[in-house]
Chains A and B, each alone.
Chain A
Amino acid sequence: MAWLELLSDYTFQNVVIGASLLGLISGPLGCFAVLRRQSLLGDAISHAALPGICLSFIITGSRDIGGIMIGSLITGSAAALIMLMLTRLSRLKTDAALGACLSIFFAVGIVLLTYIQGTNNASQGGLEAFLFGQAAATLRSDLWVMGSITLVTLLVLAAFWKQAKLVTFDAQYARTLGMPTTAIEASLTAMVALAVVVGLQMVGVILMAAMIVAPAAAARQWSRHLGGMLAIAAGVGIVSGVSGATISTLSRGLATGPLIVLTATAIVLISLALAPGRGLLWGVIKHYRQKAELQKQQLLYALYKHATVPKRTPSTLGSRRMLNKLKQQGYITRTQSSAHAGTDCWGLTAQGQEEARKVVAAFEVLAS
């Protein structure tokens, strides 16, 4: 009953659709940013959106979403371009150029924000909401704008899929094939700025970088192809958007944007730990499996090569456990040696002999 009520709630619908759109655009574009090692570029762009928001308000005098998006797109892209130019033309490294751009643009934004607050304009109420987002204030008309941007961006990406992929993997080679790599790279960066613009209302300028990086980082763990990575990243973005919005609505009063980011982070942590092949847990399991396999092979090898020498029961816990395991599997059997009465000895069964021969053959191939 409560769920039905929630689903028909106008504000909740808006927030959920907005969060899904954000996930849909920030996930795929975040993949390119992460693979191009420009994860933090999203951070610089989103912080640099603040002066654009303020300038647009000063010029138009209203909080209209269209103007604010255009303003933030301009300053965000400007910051990205300046940053890329600094790294290309000066001796500044990427991290330094990025840090400089991010903080300077953000500082200008804060100065403009306080200037606007000082002018006592009645309609300025809530401009600072763009710092952390204000999902509940999302209007249907905002959603149409966000949706169009998302659709167009994804269509462009699909049309130039080959170019985007090759430039991301090997830009220099792409250039020898005659591709305009600079233009493609600039477009990919501009599209990240578009994703940031879509997220302004939902999560705000400060936390937006997480929506660029987190879905992509989680998706990389689960995918073997670029296309799959993009699809999974979009899925992760949507799931975290929707669950963040739901938790926020159910809990009454907890901020939506940060909750979306926290959900995305939780998915990243789970992915880093559990993803098959690349996850940490997988690595640990593989290590112990290999260790056990090697121990088994060494034991079989020893029993096979030195069959005539009586084997006393080994003293370490690990090897005793391995011997028992091999016994259970039917490879070895415990025998009483007549020469050494009273001591336990181990011998290979017929099945064990066969397995040991394989192991010995494999070892000899390795040694040769």
Chain B
Amino acid sequence: MATSDYTDTALSIKNLTVSYHNQPVLWDIDLDIPAGVMAGIVGPNGAGKSTLIKSLLGLVPSLSGEVMVHGRPYATQRKRVGYVPQRSSVDWDFPTTALDVVTMGLYGRLGWFKRPGRKERNEALEALEMVGMSTLAERQISQLSGGQQQRVFLARALVQQADIYFLDEPMAGVDATTERAIIDILRRLRDAGKTLIVVHHDLQTVRTYFDWLLLLNVRVIASGKAEEVFKIDYLRQAYGGQIALLNDNESLMFAASKVK
């Protein structure tokens, strides 16, 4: 696939800088992500992966920078953007059901005063079906396992029927079955022309899962098609001292990532 195949730019970031207590967390990020790819954001702990997503969505204040979604400012394009936050970002002891959480994804579309009705309920049930959770629709969210909670969050983003999805470590702390299921859903979305931008921490699976990569460590180390970015030189640059461990297992790592 040649670069020219990517005709549309789904996400474009110019000169984004975020700092926290005078410490730069993200520095001068320039980035273009084409539409219809499954993009991974990879980097060491503290590289600013989650912060990048949060500042794009306006959840963390940035010092500078502009974010364009499909060529228009993000603020005007909210309806085209879906967000799957980290599972640990909410209190799962909240008194509600899985179905209700998924329905929350439709609140933006419903406007200020309209209440969710039968139509919204059916849409939410469909999304739960997609993530394989339709039997647990009426289950209290506190009684769901970690993987099931993650799927509920994914379903909540699915009902938004967005064009771009941001996912913050969707594979963190879930079992292999759930990881497999999540990846299958994400691939189906990509094949339907959606753009997926996923914060990921497991280098072993990066090459298998993603066709586009951003290597991040406060600055952009490299970005582009996965096979061009997932190079040992770039990885060494991104991970610094920790690359020693990678280096020893270099062959192993690349072999593992080829497993389909």
Contacts and interface: CB of A to CB of B under 8 A. Distances in A.
A172 interface: yes
A162 interface: yes
A223 B59 contact: no
Contacts of B89: 170, 172
Interface stretch (A174-182, A306-314, A316-324): A174-182
A183 to B, nearest CB: 12
A176 B83 contact: yes
Interface residues of B, number: 29
A176 B78 contact: yes
B96 A166 contact: no
B101 interface: yes
Nearest to B92: A169
Interface in B59-83: 59, 78-79, 81, 83
B95 A175 contact: no
A172 B140 CA distance: 21
Contact of B107 (A159, A172, A177, A223): A177
A173 B95 contact: no
A178 B94 contact: no
B85 A170 contact: yes
B73 to A, nearest CB: 13
A252 interface: no
A173 B85 contact: yes
B104 A172 contact: no
Interface stretch (A132-140, A224-232, A294-302): A224-232
Q: Classify the secondary structure of A's interface with B.
A: helix
A175 B57 contact: yes
Chain A interface residue number, banded: 20 to 34
Contacts of A224: 95-97, 140
B101 A169 contact: yes
Contact of B96 (A37, A162, A163, A226): A226
Nearest to B111: A162
Contacts of B101: 169
A162 B110 contact: yes
Contacts of B173: none
Contact of A173 (B83, B96, B97, B112): B83
Given A176-B83, A225-B95, A159 B113 contact: yes
Nearest to A277: B140
Contacts of B116: 162
A170 B107 contact: no
B115 interface: yes
B108 interface: yes
Interface in A171-207: 172-179
13 contacts: A35-B95, A161-B115, A165-B96, A166-B104, A169-B96, A169-B101, A169-B104, A172-B89, A175-B59, A177-B107, A224-B95, A225-B95, A226-B96
The 4 A-B residue pairs with the shortest CB-CB distance in the complex, in nearest-first order:
A177-B108, A176-B83, A178-B78, A170-B90
Given A173-B85, A226-B95, 17 more contacts: A160-B112, A162-B107, A163-B107, A163-B112, A166-B104, A169-B104, A170-B89, A170-B104, A175-B59, A176-B58, A176-B59, A176-B83, A178-B79, A179-B108, A224-B95, A224-B96, A225-B96
Interface of B: 21, 54, 57-59, 78-79, 81, 83, 85, 89-91, 94-97, 100-101, 104, 107-108, 110, 112-113, 115-116, 140, 156
